[in-house]
């Protein structure tokens, strides 16, 4: 029966248009725990205090949900080729909000499956205290690159992940045991702020994505060019993305934002900003911080 449930879940996930799926158990390897604790102890999380406050849950998924017995990880390619002007926005942000898009699709699938097979579930799409990339590697989806991002041999690193917790035990898949980064250090060498650490973690205090998305202060304290929301430099230079495949989900194909000049974006009124970025991840920065980011780039270009 359990084998049947697993095969049916896999079948429906792939039929729904997801590119990747894997199953694993709830355990987190000791070396991952040590790395995370080291990252916290050295204050590499910037002012994202929630990363420290939820550390116990991140290192023990049973503290997220005590009934969890299996973890499913799904992946969806979101890559699209971009022609930039005098500013850049991370590819993932040029789409409908992936949190909502993926969760809505997973809810539909698992509401049906849970009724058929009598199990309970919880869904997380980069929204809870879960080490998604760790479970993705354990589920056989890919390996964590030197830039900390999960890489799949077919789709590269432009992948959105979704995590489903089940209260039934399903046979785990084999973990992804290979490290295809090898001796390549392109991501490390290309990072203009030296944010990539040698243990496959990121120093948020130096990370462009952190400063343009997460940081809530009024003044950006590091120098960088072009990026007004997020940063894809370490992905752009990664050889595993040389043959990236264009996404086939319409929700992730938005590029109309790039029709605006930097000055036009700066001059947007708040209601115009809200309308232009409605339902998109870029709204996470909010109007004030979005303008802060643009001004930072303009000041450095002068």
Mean pLDDT in residue range 238-244 = 97
Look up tokens 């729904």; give the residue.
16
Mean pLDDT in residue range 36-52 = 97
Q: How many CB atoms lie within 10 A of CB 267?
A: 12
The one-character DSSP state at 3 is: H
Contact 120, 166 (CB under 8 A): yes
| Cα distance between residue 128 and residue 107, in whole Å | 16
pLDDT in tens, 269-295: 999 999 999 999 999 889 999 999 999
pLDDT in tens, 56-87: 999 999 999 999 999 999 999 999 999 998 89
Contact 150, 161 (CB under 8 A): yes
pLDDT in tens, 28-43: 999 999 999 999 999 9
User: Helix 98-117 crosses helix 2-15 at what angle (to 10 degrees)?
Assistant: 150
The confidence score (pLDDT) of residue 302 equals: 61
The confidence score (pLDDT) of residue 256 equals: 87
The confidence score (pLDDT) of residue 255 equals: 83
Mean pLDDT in residue range 196-203 = 97
The residues that are catalytic are 126
Q: What percent of the chain has pLDDT over 90?
A: 94
Mean pLDDT in residue range 231-254 = 97
User: Is the per-residue pLDDT at 163 higher than 90?
Assistant: yes
pLDDT in tens, 97-151: 999 999 999 999 999 999 999 999 999 999 999 999 999 999 999 999 999 999 9
What average pLDDT does the chain have? 96
């Amino acid at each position: 029966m359990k084998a049947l449930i697993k095969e049916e879940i896999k079948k429906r996930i792939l039929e729904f248009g997801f590119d990747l799926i894997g199953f694993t158990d709830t355990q987190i390897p000791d070396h991952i725990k040590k790395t995370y604790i080291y990252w916290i102890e050295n204050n590499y999380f910037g002012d994202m205090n929630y990363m420290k406050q939820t550390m116990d849950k991140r290192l023990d998924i049973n503290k997220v949900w005590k009934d969890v017995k299996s973890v499913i990880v799904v992946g969806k390619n979101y890559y699209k080729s971009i022609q930039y002007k005098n500013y850049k926005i991370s590819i993932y942000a040029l789409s409908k909000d992936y949190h909502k898009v993926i969760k809505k699709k997973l809810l539909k699938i698992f509401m049906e499956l849970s009724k058929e097979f009598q199990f309970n579930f919880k869904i997380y799409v980069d929204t809870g205290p879960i080490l998604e990339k760790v479970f993705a590697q354990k589920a056989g989806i890919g390996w964590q690159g030197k830039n900390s991002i999960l890489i799949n041999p077919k789709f590269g690193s432009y992948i959105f992940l979704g995590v489903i917790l089940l209260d039934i035990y399903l046979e785990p898949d084999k973990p992804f045991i290979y490290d295809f980064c090898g001796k390549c250090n392109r991501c490390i060498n290309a990072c203009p702020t030296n944010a990539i650490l040698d243990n496959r973690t990121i120093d948020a205090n130096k990370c462009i994505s952190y400063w343009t998305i997460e940081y809530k202060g009024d003044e950006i304290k590091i120098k960088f060019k072009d990026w007004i929301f997020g940063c894809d430099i370490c992905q752009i230079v990664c050889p595993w993305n040389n043959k990236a495949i264009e996404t086939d989900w319409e929700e992730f194909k938005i590029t109309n934002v790039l029709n605006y000049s930097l000055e036009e974006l700066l001059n947007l009124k708040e209601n115009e900003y809200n309308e232009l970025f409605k339902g998109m991840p870029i709204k996470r920065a909010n109007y004030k911080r979005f303008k802060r980011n643009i001004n930072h780039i303009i000041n450095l270009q002068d």
